[in-house]
Amino acid sequence: MKHFCIFTNPHKDRDLAVTNKIKAYLESRQIKYSLRITDEDNISDEADVILVLGGDGTMLNAAREIKGRKNIPLLGINLGTLGYLAEVEPDKTKEAIDKVLAGEYELESRMMIGGTILRAGEKVITDRALNDVVIRRVGTQQVMVFNLYVNRKLLNRYQADGIIITTPTGSTGYNLSAGGPIVEPSARLLVVTPICPHTMIQRSIVLSENDVVEIEIPAGREGQIQNAVVSFDGYAEELVTGDSVRIVKADFTTDFIKIGKAGFLETLHRKMSENS
């Protein structure tokens, strides 16, 4: 690794104390670095690794910003609560940097999904997500109707507040809050979970990584126009009756640098212990 990009969430590192300590340490090791602190800052094309200072949300933002670039691995410095993506605590940052420089780490590849908004059969917007694609109703309107197609065949018609299509990485986020299953993050599959469905039985659907999922916004009750929002890791676009969102496994991944021996199950145990 020859060039580090320090990707800082200024709301988490308010006085840039952690950022400045990392800068000073890299300078002492004569290692090149660049900064990404505001939205106006770009990730350097020279970057070999991105040190992400923040929480899981900051990790998602960093993953979005390397879209279209070489697959630059991310190493999360946790400045939030105990999450699932940011591995290194601030007091272990120098040790982690030393291990990266010495090549003493593993790369963990995470599946991503791509989503395309279709309007009158034409592609309108294409985006991607590391965590999830969420389609939900707008405002206080009545429960919405969603048609779920898998491989172009109608699988189910939901009356719900929304639908989540999640990757294994995103299974511990909104999907979990909506009653969906926890999935080991190195798995390769898709999970579809309805949000507050109007039924006595709520079930998630686990699909193959190669399945094509399409969520259609049909006319509502008595032919009402339905308005919805689709978000790709929180970045939202509007939908109306007749629109659909097609979701597939992306042809690229996000790589995470793993320093410690603690795996996903150990982190999950700690999270569950907090809430027990």
Catalytic residues: 56
Give the amino acid at 262: A
Q: Is 151 helix (H, G, I), strand (E, B) or coil?
A: coil
Which positions ≥6 away from 172 have C-beta within 8 Å? 84, 182, 268, 271
Q: For residues 8 and 17, give the distance between their C-alpha atoms in angstroms, rounded to a whole number.
A: 11
**Adjacent-strand bridge partners of 115:** 127, 247
Q: For residues 273 and 254, give the distance between their C-alpha atoms in angstroms, rounded to a whole number.
A: 28
Q: For residues 234 and 226, give the distance between their C-alpha atoms in angstroms, rounded to a whole number.
A: 21
Q: For residues 204 and 159, give the distance between their C-alpha atoms in angstroms, rounded to a whole number.
A: 14
Paired tokens of 198: 């109007």
What are the distances in angstroms from CA 112 to CA 90, 127, 160, 190?
28, 11, 25, 10
Q: For residues 194 and 163, give the distance between their C-alpha atoms in angstroms, rounded to a whole number.
A: 4
CB 162 within 8 A of CB 144: yes
Identify the H or E element spanning 271. Answer: helix 264-274
